[in-house]
């Protein structure tokens, strides 16, 4: 439905997004409201960003206090919240260091640059060992590096020539990675759980084998945890369930809980590849962004969020499976982990998104006709129950009409 706001939107903004159907004006916890006053249960969390839901008091207070003190100063000066954040994050993966940026694609861009630097160190020649093997259906962002690492025609079309050196292999197929890695390979970069590709999990066994393969071939193992990290699976990092240790990790989205921040963790063995002047950004790790991220980590820790997701995730999953069992003609599969779940739907996921929205719930569509359910990490049992009733209601309506 065309509203005043969407008219303005279409008039003044470049059309790189489809014109949104609704305008959200307010949020509180797991709910948001549009300009007409209609309330929605937010099971999209701004695409896995609103880790603490909306307007979490601690997050608001932390950002407000920092804004009142100093919002920005650049990396020409030491930023206390930046090293406090890095030190706190290092508790989840000791033995490494952090570099902050502003988004997921920038985090991957930093990892791709790191892979190139490693390639120079490994081969002793600039421009020889430069390849980064990625996985089919992966998504790593929209900058040239991120896009070139994203083997999807819909993302890359129109932008040739892309950055060279991104061969692809099949997720969960070690042989495929074995053949894709050659002497010119510097790194492997995959999502621990593919989000945009349709909630596809890299199995723990595959991750263990891939780790061993990368070590054997002298190739860095880089994990993109931009979407699945920051507690979403009930572990701080999704790869923790496999017991492996990657060489580098990309983070963003939920890290700032709605304030833009990205970052990469790099193990000590490779962190020294970046030297003064080799990489940088004006905004990366600025005081406001770091204060927001500290607020997210403090709430995750103080409220026992990881434990909560470990318990609630499987309950939610089982309820969804019961619903899927009632509508096998509409839901083909429920998959995912913790609070990163996917419903493989019969029919176009964009249409399903709309149907759920009409029934008062926001979801995120993904490849392979998958509807992603990405609740705020703070969502409680009643809100997950509410999501289940909206899903059941929407499916019943659809079943009655088809
Ligand atoms: C796994 C993954 N990597 C990278 C990105 C890109 O992040 P951003 O949109 O913040 O650049 C995304 C965004 O959806 C993502 O899901």
Class of domain 4-56+309-341+351-373: alpha beta
Bond preceding residue 38 cis, omega within 30 of 0: no
CATH of 58-302, one of 2.60.40.3670, 3.30.365.10, 3.40.50.740, 3.40.640.10: 3.40.640.10
| Ligand 1 neighbours by CB, cut-off 6 Å | 47, 103-105, 108, 139-141, 191, 195-196, 224, 226-227, 252
Burial of 152 (0-12, 13-18, 19+ CB in 10 A): middle
Q: Are 43 and 375 in contact (CB under 8 A)?
A: yes
Q: pLDDT 10s digit of each residue in the chain, 402 long?
A: 677 777 888 899 999 998 888 999 999 999 999 999 999 999 999 999 999 999 999 999 999 999 999 999 999 999 999 999 999 999 999 999 999 999 999 999 999 999 999 999 999 999 999 999 999 999 999 999 999 999 999 999 999 999 999 999 999 999 999 999 999 999 999 999 999 999 999 999 999 999 999 999 999 999 999 999 999 999 999 999 999 999 999 999 999 999 999 999 999 999 999 999 999 999 999 999 999 999 999 999 999 999 999 999 999 999 999 999 999 999 999 999 999 999 999 999 999 999 999 999 999 999 989 999 999 999 999 999 999 999 999 999 999 987
CA-CA distances (angstroms) from residue 40 to 2, 20, 224, 376? Answer: 19, 15, 30, 13
CA-CA distances (angstroms) from residue 64 to 29, 70, 79, 287, 368? Answer: 18, 10, 17, 11, 41
Q: How far apart are CA 143 and CA 112, in angstroms?
A: 11
User: Which of ligand 1's atoms lies nearest the C-alpha of 262?
Assistant: 10
What are the residue boundaries of the structural domains of the chain, listed by start? 4-56+309-341+351-373, 58-302
Distance 40 CA to ligand 1 centre (A): 24
Q: How far apart are CA 250 and CA 248, in angstroms?
A: 7
User: Which of ligand 1's atoms lies nearest the C-alpha of 138?
Assistant: 1
Q: In what order do the strands lie in the sheet with 331-337?
A: 331-337, 340-345, 370-373, 364-366
**Per-residue b or e along 46-59, where b marks 16 or more CB atoms closer than 10 Å to that residue's CB:** bbbbbbbbbebebb
3-state class of 141 per DSSP?
Answer: coil
Q: Are 299 and 291 in contact (CB under 8 A)?
A: no
Inter-axis angle of helices 287-302 and 80-90, to 10 degrees?
Answer: 40
Q: How far apart are CA 400 and CA 402, in angstroms?
A: 6
Nearest residue by C-alpha to atom 4 in ligand 1: 140
In testing the pocket of ligand 1, which one of 139, 191, 284, 367 has its CB within 8 Å of the most ligand atoms? 139
Distance 139 CA to ligand 1 centre (A): 7
Fold match between 4-56+309-341+351-373 and 58-302?
Answer: no
Distance 156 CA to ligand 1 centre (A): 15
Provide the strand spans (E) within 88-130.
96-101
Distance 148 CA to ligand 1 centre (A): 13
In testing the pocket of ligand 1, which one of 49, 51, 103, 104 has its CB within 8 Å of the most ligand atoms? 104
């Amino acid at each position: 439905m065309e509203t005043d706001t969407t008219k303005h939107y279409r008039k003044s903004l470049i059309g790189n997004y489809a014109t949104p159907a609704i305008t959200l004006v307010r949020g509180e916890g797991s709910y948001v409201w549009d300009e007409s006053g209609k309330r929605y249960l937010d099971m999209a969390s701004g695409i896995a960003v609103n880790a603490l839901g909306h307007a979490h008091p601690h997050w608001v207070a932390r950002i407000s206090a920092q804004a009142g003190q100093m919002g920005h100063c650049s990396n020409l000066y030491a930023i206390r919240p930046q090293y406090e954040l890095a030190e706190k994050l290092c508790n989840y993966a000791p033995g490494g260091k952090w570099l902050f940026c502003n988004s997921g694609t920038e985090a991957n861009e930093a990892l791709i640059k790191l892979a190139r630097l490693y390639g120079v160190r490994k081969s002793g020649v600039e421009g020889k060992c430069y390849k980064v093997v990625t996985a089919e259906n992966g998504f790593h962002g929209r900058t040239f590096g991120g896009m070139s690492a994203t083997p999807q025609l819909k993302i890359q079309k129109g932008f040739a020539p892309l950055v060279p050196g991104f061969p692809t292999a099949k997720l969960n197929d070690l042989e495929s990675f074995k053949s894709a890695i050659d002497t010119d390979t510097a790194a492997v970069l995959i999502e621990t759980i593919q989000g945009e590709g349709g909630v596809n999990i890299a199995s723990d066994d595959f991750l263990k084998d891939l780790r061993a393969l990368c070590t054997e071939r002298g190739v860095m193992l880089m994990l993109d945890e931009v979407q699945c990290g920051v507690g979403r699976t009930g572990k701080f990092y999704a790869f923790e369930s496999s017991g492996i240790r990657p060489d580098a990790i990309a983070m963003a989205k939920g890290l700032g809980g709605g304030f833009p921040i990205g970052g990469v963790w790099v193990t000590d063995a490779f962190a020294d590849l970046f030297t003064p002047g080799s990489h940088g950004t004006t905004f990366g790790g600025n005081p406001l962004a770091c204060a927001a991220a500290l607020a997210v980590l403090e709430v995750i820790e103080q409220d026992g969020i990881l434990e909560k997701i470990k318990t609630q995730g499987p309950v939610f999953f089982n309820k969804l499976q019961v619903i899927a069992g009632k509508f096998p003609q509409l839901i083909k599969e429920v998959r995912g982990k913790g609070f990163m779940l996917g419903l493989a739907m019969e029919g176009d996921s964009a249409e399903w998104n709309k149907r759920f929205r009409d029934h008062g719930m926001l979801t995120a569509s993904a490849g392979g006709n998958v509807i992603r359910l990405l609740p705020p990490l703070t969502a409680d049992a009643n809100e997950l129950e509410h999501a289940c009733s909206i899903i059941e209601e929407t499916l019943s309506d659809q079943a009655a009409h088809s």
